Amino acid sequence: MSDTPAEAVIETRGLTTTFPGEGGRVPVVDQVDLQIAVGEVLALVGESGCGKSMTALSMLRLVPKPGRIEAGEISLAGSDLRRLSVPAMRQVRGQEISMIFQEPMTSLNPVATVGAQVVEAIRLHESVSKAEARRRTLDLFTRVGIPDPDSRLDAYPHQLSGGLKQRVMIAMALSTRPRLLIADEPTTALDVTIQAQILQLLRDLQQEFGMSILLITHDLGIVNELADRVSVMYAGRIIEEGSRVDILGEARHPYTRGLLLSLPSLASRGERLAEIPGVVPPPDQWPPGCRFSTRCGRVFEPCTTQVPAVSEITGTHRSWCFAVAREIES
């Protein structure tokens, strides 16, 4: 739970990713600092269009063109990923950091069997025979809970259900025992019952393999299920971070509170849900000062002109908000 650099698997400092806009390059990820410790699950939370996925892609140096990483440092166990050569970076992907995607339906190549795809992933990073890779694939399939794994090896993606495909994706991502698994909305496209199974599986595997997970989600229920720490992102910036209890129980930033209030609950049936007015503005219309100032109910003078500095609430809980800073002072 500590963020001393020695324990961190991966750490970003001042990570900034920009895309070209009308008046020059627009940052969609702006000065993002994240640390993920060994065996820790960090949830990155925010609405659509906040730059969560772009942060994850930046960590893998897979920002789609014409975007590019403008500044910052991404250190994986001490070495800066931004300085690696392209082939060395390719070795890091899959080997050290793996990623699973939101849409299991389209994340597998439709014209190759799922077994062949996992075998490819294994043989990409380790020189093992096809038979050995196949045997390990079979083990992985058993481990991720695919029933009848022997015959599923030779199945095509369209012959599997969404939940099974996501299990295949997880097997593929874990095939090289990465230190960090980036899970980008891993259960959004699945049924609720399947969601619970996949979350349970991720939790089991995380403990068994001792890896860290960067969980990208907008679903605070999932955060509660899986996360150790939470970083809340809004419009390209981290606006609040803390342990799961800090964020889900003691949230201070108006945006985090808004997110929590907009959760439907069984107790408050029939009442209108609280919502945060408006939507995340597109990156080229982000306001100066606090990015949330256009939608915040507690705006006062410095919010629209100055960028809020960090306020330490507790040892683990931090927030970037003028209102929170004033509450702490008084």
Partner 1 sequence: METHVVSNLVVALLLAGGVWTGVAIRRDRLWSEAARSLWRRRPIALIVVAVYLAVAVLDSIAWVGGGEGQADAVAAHEARSVVDRAFAGTREASFSAPLADAEFYGGRPLQRPGSHLFGTDILGRDVLYLTIKGARVALLIGGLTSMIAIPLALLLGVSAGYFGGRIDDVVFFVMSTLASMPGLLLLIALIMAMGRSTLSVCIALGVTSWVGLCRVTRGETFKLRELDYVQAARALGVSEARIIFRHLLPNLMHLVIITFVLMFSGLVLSEAILSWLGIGVDGSWGQMIDQARNELSRDPIIWWNISAAGVALFGLLLAVNFVGDALRDILDPRTLRENQ
Q: Which residues contact partner 1 (rule: CB under 8 A)?
A: 60, 62, 64-65, 87, 90-95, 98-99, 101-103, 106-113, 120-121, 124-125, 154, 156, 158, 169, 172-173, 182
Strand order in the sheet with 180-184: 97-100, 180-184, 212-217, 41-45, 229-234, 237-243, 318-320, 310-312
Nearer to partner 1 among residue 112 and residue 279 (C-beta): 112
Cβ 54 to partner 1, closest distance in Å? 13
Nearer to partner 1 among residue 90 and residue 203 (C-beta): 90
Do residues 129 and 118 lie in contact, with contact meaning Cβ atoms separated by under 8 Å? Answer: no
Structural tokens at position 170: 């997880």
Structural tokens at position 308: 């809020």
Cβ 182 to partner 1, closest distance in Å? 8
Cβ 204 to partner 1, closest distance in Å? 22
Nearer to partner 1 among residue 93 and residue 244 (C-beta): 93
Nearer to partner 1 among residue 64 and residue 278 (C-beta): 64
Rounded Cα–Cα distance for residues 215 and 289 (Å): 28
Cβ 26 to partner 1, closest distance in Å? 21
Exposed / middle / buried, residue 47 (Cβ in 10 Å: 0-12, 13-18, 19+): middle
Structural tokens at position 2: 């500590």
CB neighbours of 69 closer than 8 A, spacing ≥ 6?
Answer: 15, 16, 17, 58, 61, 63, 82
Cβ 193 to partner 1, closest distance in Å? 23
Cβ 130 to partner 1, closest distance in Å? 13
Nearer to partner 1 among residue 101 and residue 292 (C-beta): 101
Return the closest-CA partner of residue 150 out of 136, 138, 162: 138
Nearer to partner 1 among residue 88 and residue 274 (C-beta): 88
Nearer to partner 1 among residue 125 and residue 317 (C-beta): 125
Rounded Cα–Cα distance for residues 252 and 174 (Å): 36
Note the maximum CA span of the chain: 67
Nearer to partner 1 among residue 86 and residue 309 (C-beta): 86
Cβ 69 to partner 1, closest distance in Å? 15
Residue 276 per-residue DSSP state: -
Angle at 89 between CA 87 and CA 93, to 5 degrees: 115
